[in-house]
Amino acid sequence: MNINLSGKQAIVCGSTQGIGKAIAEELAELGASVVLVARNEESLKAALSTLSQNEHQLHEYIVADFGEPLILKQRIEDFINRGNQPEILINNTGGPSGGQILDEQYEKFSDTLSAHLQCNHLLVQELSPCMMAKGYGRIINIISTSVKQPIPGLGVSNTVRGAVASWAKTLSYELAPFGITVNNVLPGFTATTRLDYVIENLMQKTGKSREEVVAGLEADIPARRIGAAHEVASLAAFLSTPAAAYINGTSIPVDGGKTTAI
């Protein structure tokens, strides 16, 4: 099985913490040169120092905020114009705060759609010609299990992440003839700062302790535990490899079996 990414270059968004950082580390372990993308330069420098260079790769970073799509587009254009031709793109952006969908303002939908769907689209438009030229491309979107089963209290997130999944499926048809695959990874409850936020909200709403809230979440997962970021990253890394060439247009949960939909 060919999972060697030596000589490949990967752009990983939202890669200074959590799942994004874990994916960057996994890709580097497989030999890829990794380009980290996030808005905080100090965090980017710290994350860069954790990446393996066992294949003498050259890792780097791009400072960009997904709240500013046109600046993101310009930074990626500049990167390509310096002679870079990435074959792997990991779209990963933190989700919006929770809330009932009827209570949400128009602007929150607009802002979230821009940071997720529109930024993903801009990146694919910029990077797909590089992939086409090489006959090899992997576009992997880190979304949520809400794509298959909407999560109560996450109205805006459910809506926008569903739109991203539909966009990705459509894109998979168009890019497959060029040796480019498009797949979605759907994390369930994973030990990240995002989950900490969810737990804190539940503590406030229910008056329960952290231990009680976590126990309640775990009881609803067949595996009876919260997932680790590297477990999500392992799937994203595999989908990036030559071994995954015939896996295309899928949305795969990594959730310990919690999602009840097939």
* pLDDT digits 0-9 by tens, 82-101: 999 999 999 999 888 888 88
Residues whose CB is less than 8 angstroms from the CB of residue 147 and which lie 6 or more positions away in sequence, other chains included: 161, 162, 164, 165, 184, 186, 251
pLDDT of residue 57: 96
Question: In 3D, which of 75, 1, 61 has the Cα closest to residue 33?
Answer: 61
Q: What is the pLDDT of residues 36-73, one digit of tens each?
A: 999 999 999 999 999 999 999 999 999 999 999 999 99
Q: For domain 9-188+228-254, give its CATH number from 3.40.50.720, 3.40.190.10, 3.40.50.1820, 1.10.3720.10.
A: 3.40.50.720
Q: What is the tens place of the pLDDT at every residue in 186-207?
A: 999 999 988 998 899 889 989 9
Q: What is the pLDDT of residues 223-232, one digit of tens each?
A: 999 999 999 9
* Residue 218 token pair: 């775990």
pLDDT digits (tens, 9 = 90+) for 158-172: 999 999 999 999 999
Does 220 have pLDDT greater than 90? yes
Asked whether 190 and 218 are in contact (CB, 8 A), the reply is no
- Rounded to 5°, angle at Cα 122 from 143 and 140: 35
